[in-house]
Structure 1
């Protein structure tokens, strides 16, 4: 549950954590000054004012609403899969503890040991293309099979694909959410959330259990995604994407930043291209990430996707001789991953055997001599 402190001190810390206007920095200020949360709550309002805290903070810290939140957290933590991890606990993830404004309390549902694993964050657009979702899935699956935990934010699009890829490999994935753990956002990911909690992974939040989805909280959780991880991979992102916030936190926290390039004509690639201009590492395959990470992994790195048969380009060509098709339909018909299909399409196009028009690939018959 939490470290070995008294029940009164744990309750006091949860009260401080639940008090509006007391974030991680003010929480730590109070703890350092008064030596304990219990002593901080017992101190006078004037003592708080001398620390530069608003009078309202002291009043709210003893409100019925705050007390109810603390008691709800203690009740919640009685479940065997529910854990409260305090900032000075031995179970608190070491990498996250080094970051600026590290959360004072982490609510963890699932396996708390997952937080100590070497992690790669995979993030990107909620409205990602099928190709980029497949790329995120493939990277996550391969990396998870190699012993790297996959961390993301449980959002639609790239986040969902990354979590699913790690689970498919039987690996570990962590979902750092921007709500309290009584909520699931988006609701469409309820089944995925349950799968993560019941696996070797975990759901992680710094917010009180009843906190509903609020736009301002999602950028805050991004610092935890990067803070837990050795590096962040951005698969797809526009210039206004929240994924760039995660990447910025990663750079500030001295983590690796990786980005996958895309078409210069696609707005969803512009964020990745900006990261590359700012010094992110260009990534085209899993080995680009893990070349320097091998000593952190429990098993050798290998591509988790089956290698295409040598005759696979012929099968692709045969399909296009029948009808023009798009990338997704070809991948489905051939039962191949998208990167493999795109590689074969490029080879055939360079050989002058196919061409693309209006989003479809067409067979190009040989000219008779």
Structure 2
């Protein structure tokens, strides 16, 4: 399993000109994530990369279509992108931003930037990808909803692709916990596919995160969904497959997860169910057969603990020096959380108000304390001191 990289140093706030330059690079036809990252690092900033593109063209073998766009981009389109970013809870996370998710940063081909609706810090919460068939059986949908609900109650964010079937059921299960869910889109952040999930996307954007590497206005295209699957695998500590045919896109997600050193879990099914065959194939190839969410939590808990500690450190880099709490050396944030928690069950929203902390920070800290045996889940997304 991949070890989360060290916490990146916070990047300075981008100017409007720098953001616009990033948008121009991201919209340049044929200019991929690797090239954009290399250009920005070589030039020192996105603005400098655009301004000196003619000097850098040969070094980076930039094609004529990209050059033409960067020399004279569609200013109206860039204006629209900036207008989208100006809306509440809308963000552009670039490679150099501190909020860029660390597990995704550690993959072979991470995007140069991400368009985000919601709280970007939630992308640091330990995530489990839950994927499966669009035409899932009633049993498969029930399993997806139940596993996602239970895993979310355990402090994990549920990451999926907002598709029909298992994806949608997993998002709903996480929202019911209530917990955090992250929808990875194969379209621009302003377009929902399928359209029937527009209401679900609104709920996710209000309490969780919608994320995509595609700029606003980008339609659904077949080639976009393998790229979306790559992000689901890259963001997650592990991927759970619930019902998948032998040619399912979910198997692509599982393969990508395995290639990135992430854990792959699969639910077994009836030998008479065609949608169980993909899961059985994964198990034969080394995926872990699971029958209960607790098996997944036990497997991923050590890595979640590491990632949760790094999230806490990033969100509170200037925390007070460690102080004594209950005989254990602990910093002030944990002391404040334990004091706010007490011995009566509280929801994340109630805790956030009492402790004056963000939900993303609380999620990681509660997971750390739960793994250490100091906090227990009371069900329904509520927590109490043990």
- Whether these two folds match at TM > 0.5 is yes
Task: Return closer, same or farther for 1:234/1:29 CA change in 2, 3 Å cut-off.
Answer: same
What are the equivalent positions in structure 2 for 1:33-182 lying under 5 Å apart?
33-45=42-54, 47-65=56-74, 67-182=75-190
Q: Which deviations, in whole Å up to 9, do the C-alpha atoms of 1:142-200 show, x marking residues without a partner?
A: 1111111100000000000000000011100000010001211001111101111112x
Deviation for aligned residue 1:76: 1.3
Q: Distance in 1 between matches of 2:378 and 2:290?
A: 15
**Residue number among 178, 196, 199 corresponding to 1:188 in the alignment:** 196
Q: Contact between 1:152 and 1:159, CA under 8 Å: does it hold in 2?
A: yes
Map of 2:261 onto structure 1: 254
Deviation for aligned residue 1:56: 2.1
Q: Contact between 1:69 and 1:208, CA under 8 Å: does it hold in 2?
A: no
Unpaired segments ≥5 residues, structure 1: 306-369
Q: Contact between 2:114 and 2:213, CA under 8 Å: does it hold in 1?
A: yes
What are the equivalent positions in structure 2 for 1:227-242 lying under 5 Å apart?
227-242=234-249
Task: Return closer, same or farther for 1:228/1:238 CA change in 2, 3 Å cut-off.
Answer: same
Map of 1:15 onto structure 2: 24
What are the equivalent positions in structure 2 for 1:281-296 lying under 5 Å apart?
281-294=288-301, 296=304
Deviation for aligned residue 1:83: 1.1
Task: Return closer, same or farther for 1:100/1:11 CA change in 2, 3 Å cut-off.
Answer: same
* SS of the residue 2:239 aligns to: strand
TM-score computed with the length of structure 2 as normaliser: 0.74
Deviation for aligned residue 1:72: 2.0
Map of 1:360 onto structure 2: none
Q: Distance in 1 between matches of 2:379 and 2:136?
A: 22
Q: Which deviations, in whole Å up to 9, do the C-alpha atoms of 1:280-317 show, x marking residues without a partner?
A: 11111112211133453354787969xxxxxxxxxxxx
Task: Return closer, same or farther for 1:101/1:138 CA change in 2, 3 Å cut-off.
Answer: same
* SS of the residue 1:80 aligns to: coil
Q: Distance in 1 between matches of 2:238 and 2:146?
A: 17
Q: Contact between 1:15 and 1:69, CA under 8 Å: does it hold in 2?
A: no
What are the equivalent positions in structure 2 for 1:260-279 lying under 5 Å apart?
260-279=267-286
Deviation for aligned residue 1:44: 5.0
Q: Report which stretch shifted further, 104-113 or 223-232.
A: 104-113
Larger Rg computed on CA atoms: 1
Unpaired segments ≥5 residues, structure 2: 1-10, 305-366, 381-386
Deviation for aligned residue 1:267: 1.6
Q: Contact between 1:226 and 1:250, CA under 8 Å: does it hold in 2?
A: yes
Equivalenced residue count is 302
Q: Report which stretch shifted further, 285-294 or 203-212.
A: 285-294
Q: Distance in 2 between matches of 1:99 and 1:242?
A: 19
